[in-house]
Amino acid sequence: MLLEAKKQYKTITPGQEQENLHYYVDVSEEIVNLPPNAFFVIEKVKVYPLVKGIINIGRRLENHLVVADLRVSRSHAQLRAINGQFVLFDLNSTRGTYVNGQRIAQAILYPDDTISLGGVTLTFHQQEPVSRPDLIDTVR
């Protein structure tokens, strides 16, 4: 039985993602409507560029983003690019998915949002972000 080797992802600096998309994405996969220059910082040490329209997150090796921590469910969450924004969905995980301390079923991500997957922390970052609708009236 042959086992396919898991792709090795290298850490790149923010801003390089658009230059190196095909390193992360199969050539046949469409690269449309992705928020530009978005990435996760996992536990303040690992950078994971967000360069796919759908990213499955969990412990299972078949996930795009594998988090090898028992607090994380095998299929914990899914990130989808929708209308130029990333939306995070909880996949009925055991310990829940939280964005900025609030348990969510789904949530639009904004720069510097803190995500907790069963206690494992990811921070969402994006250059050239869209404006937050809850802050539109606060700046004049």
- Local mean pLDDT, 10-residue blocks, the chain (140 residues): 37 43 44 83 96 97 97 98 95 98 98 97 85 54
How far apart CA 125 and CA 17 sit, in angstroms, is 13
Contact 39, 52 (CB under 8 A): no
66-96: buried (b, 16+ CB within 10 Å) or exposed (e) per residue?
Answer: bbeeeebbebbbbbebeeebbebbbeebebb
Residue 33 confidence (pLDDT):
75
In whole angstroms, what separates CA 115 from the centre of its chain? 9
Residue 132 confidence (pLDDT):
58
Contact 50, 82 (CB under 8 A): no
3-class DSSP assignment, residue 138: helix
Cβ atoms within 10 Å, residue 23: 14
Tokens at residue 45, please?
């040490």
How far apart CA 136 and CA 140 sit, in angstroms, is 9
Residue 15 confidence (pLDDT):
45
